[in-house]
Amino acid sequence: MANKQPQRIKTISEFHRLNNLEKPEHPLVSVIDFESIRHLPTDGSISFTRDFYSIGLKKNFNAKMKYGQQQYDFDEGIMTFMAPGQVLRIEAQNEETVKHSGWLLLFHPDFLLHTSLAKAIKQYQYFSYAVNEALHLSAKEEAVIVGIIRNVEQEYRSAIDHFSQDVIIAQLELLMTYAERFYHRQFITRKVSNHQILSRLDDVLNDYLNSEVLAKQGLPTVGYIAEKLHLSPSYLSGMLKTLTGQSTQHLLYDKLMEIAKERLSTTSLTVSEIAYELGFDHSQSFSRLFKSKTNLSPLDFRKTFN
């Protein structure tokens, strides 16, 4: 089963049908109580993609969920954000039917057409990096999110009028703004996990910058570094900005300058040779970067050790 292509679910109505739920009251928006879904028995597994957005708030989930590069436990409230086309894999843990509690909010991209959220949703990075990092909620944060989700449900269950779409869009924007706030808090409060990432980042940079690959292929890209850490570039950049105040690129350059200083002070290599070993095609580019970081040219820096 593991080698099967993910099942593609094209519409919210199809999602309801596959999960033996009643037909959705609105074709483009739906709120689902997870306790009403029982669809993965025995020791099976399933992976799927959806052609619509989904925001899940899950608790007490007796299965493994592979979300990007990580698996998650659900003793506490966890939010996941999936954009159309992203893959989710669920693996049952035992012979019982999968059970979970919480809420699932679905909305189709067509619902966003001609609204402020149609373009703005692209700015919410968790729809891209959430495949690598779920949002862990406190009890108070969970209550805020549940309140907004229920507002959405109440609105589309009411008589549809000229204001219905605007009201729901406003609730979705509010939910996403809160999610951004909570993610920012998570960068700070999940210190152990995040500092482990910083330690791994240091190892990745050291391994690359001290290898022969550097001279042959040049400086590593942010995408390469993020991939090695099993994170998306945007998530890594956001975390580093919060924890260190610097971008991935700045940390890379700082690490590079440490190596440059060592070689300038302990070897007789020329500036051009050092620049080449550090992945620069032109020594002038290396010299400009070095001076911007140290206020000294490479040669002036070397003179301080003579």
Cα–Cα–Cα angle for 92, 95, 100, rounded to 5 degrees: 50
Report how far residue 48's alpha carbon sits from residue 290's, in angstroms, rounded to the nearest whole number: 48
Report how far residue 147's alpha carbon sits from residue 141's, in angstroms, rounded to the nearest whole number: 10
- Of 72 and 128, the one with more pLDDT: 128
Residues of the chain with CATH 1.10.10.60: 192-303
Phi, psi for residue 197 in degrees, rounded to 5? -65, -40
Confidence of residue 4 (pLDDT cuts 50, 70, 90): low
User: Which tokens go with 45?
Assistant: 């597994």
87-103 mean pLDDT = 66
Report how far residue 187's alpha carbon sits from residue 183's, in angstroms, rounded to the nearest whole number: 6
Q: What pLDDT was estimated at residue 207?
A: 87
Q: Which residue, among 66, 186, 51, 176, has the nearest Cα to 122 in the 3D structure?
A: 176
Please write the tens of the pLDDT for every residue from 228-241: 887 778 778 877 87
Fold of 192-303: Arc Repressor Mutant, subunit A (1.10.10)
| Run of H or E residues at 231 | none
Q: Residue 47 pairs with which residues in a beta bridge?
A: 89
Q: What pLDDT was estimated at residue 74?
A: 46
Q: What pLDDT was estimated at residue 129?
A: 47
264-278 mean pLDDT = 90
- Percent of the chain at pLDDT above 90? 29
pTM of the model: 0.62
Question: CA separation (Å) from 280 to 199, 207, 218, 222, 226?
Answer: 26, 18, 6, 16, 21
pLDDT score of 87 more than 80? no
Going through the chain in order, the beta strands assigned E by DSSP cover 7-9, 29-33, 45-50, 53-59, 63-67, 70-72, 78-82, 87-92, 101-107, 135-136
Residues of the chain with CATH 2.60.120.280: 7-189
Please write the tens of the pLDDT for every residue from 108-164: 999 999 898 988 888 787 776 444 567 888 889 999 999 999 999 999 998 888 899
Please write the tens of the pLDDT for every residue from 162-200: 899 999 999 999 999 999 888 878 766 665 566 677 778
Fold of 7-189: Jelly Rolls (2.60.120)
Cα torsion 218, 223, 228, 233: sign: positive
